[in-house]
Amino acid sequence: MKRNVINIFCDLPESSAEVFENLIQNDNFKLERIISRGQATAEGQWYDQSKDEWVMLLKGSAALKFEGDEELIILKPGDYILIPAHLKHRVEWTDKTTETLWLAIHY
């Protein structure tokens, strides 16, 4: 049986909009590739997710902010973080000079 090998860094969409691609998903688990190009969470908005999220930055850079914390968490390639369910957070910025490539697991 032939197996398809896919490279996470290939076939990045050319869209200027942020892109969320589901790679694997079932009722309890979702693995997604996210491609950002200078996007940030809208001012005053917070993510409040019902599932835990583990996210790794593969390319580019980004800053996360958690509700109640003044300090930004700066992510560079290879950095990862666990965001527990219902911990309000936002993306303050992503790299404007190159794609920021994320790998996110929601479970």
Domain parsing of the chain, residue ranges: 19-106
What tokens appear for 46 in the block? 């917070």
- Tell me: the pLDDT tens digits for 15-72? 889 999 999 999 999 999 999 999 999 999 999 999 999 999 999 999 999 999 999 9
Is 8 in contact with 33 (CB distance < 8 Å)? yes
Under 8 Å between Cβ of 20 and 91: no
Residue in 38, 90, 86 with CA at minimum distance from that of residue 60: 38
What architecture is domain 19-106?
A: Sandwich (2.60)
- Predicted confidence band of residue 107 (pLDDT cuts 50, 70, 90): very high
pLDDT in tens, 36-46: 999 999 999 99
Prediction pTM value? 0.90
> Looking at this protein, which amino acid is placed at residue 84?
P
